[in-house]
Amino acid sequence: MEKIVICTVCPIGCNITVREENDELVITGNQCKRGLTYATNEYLHPVRILTTTVKVHGGDQVLVPVRSAEPLPKELLFSAMDLIRDLTVDAPIHRGDVLINNILDTGIDIVATGEIKC
Ligand code: SF4
């Protein structure tokens, strides 16, 4: 199996090829060691910061922007979105408030990134 990974560690954005050969990863196209680490993780265990919005009740806005405090496993993003879509929180909300604790037992919180007044 072969996968092309675009490295996002720096603005150069190298196209890195990762393929398995004899039970080992062969990685080419990276210009530095940071890209090697990034491509290895992206191939074996891809993660993403989840950013979205949560519905708000009783606030000066109807949605508050949120993000995962740390990157979540990519395969859990749709399940996490399902939980977040069903959530409504009460105003006021402050930046950094934890709106979902330990989502999907990952140990990662969903936190507000905006302010909502009553
Ligand atoms: S491999 Fe290195 S040089 Fe290329 S994008 Fe990644 S960090 Fe930047």
Domain match, 41 and 82 both:
no
Are the C-beta atoms of residues 9 and 34 closer than 8 Å to each other?
Answer: yes
Is a pLDDT exceeding 90 seen at residue 1? Answer: no
Q: Residue 63 is part of which domain span?
A: 51-112
User: What whole-number distance in Å separates Cα of residue 90 and Cα of residue 56?
Assistant: 6
Q: Is residue 80 part of a domain?
A: yes
Residue pLDDT, tens place only, 6-59? 999 999 999 999 999 999 999 999 999 999 999 999 999 999 999 999 999 999
Ligand 1 contact via 28 beta carbon (within 6 Å): no
Ligand 1 contact via 35 beta carbon (within 6 Å): yes
Q: Is residue 92 part of a domain?
A: yes
pLDDT band at 88 (very low <50, low <70, confident <90, very high): very high
DSSP for 26-93, written as a single string: EEES-SSHHHHHHHHHHHHS-EE--EEEEEEESSSSSEEEEEESSPEEGGGHHHHHHHHHT-EEESPB
Number of domains in the chain: 2
Residue pLDDT, tens place only, 47-62? 999 999 999 999 999 9
Residue pLDDT, tens place only, 89-109? 999 999 999 999 999 999 999
Q: Is residue 105 part of a domain?
A: yes
Ligand 1 contact via 15 beta carbon (within 6 Å): no
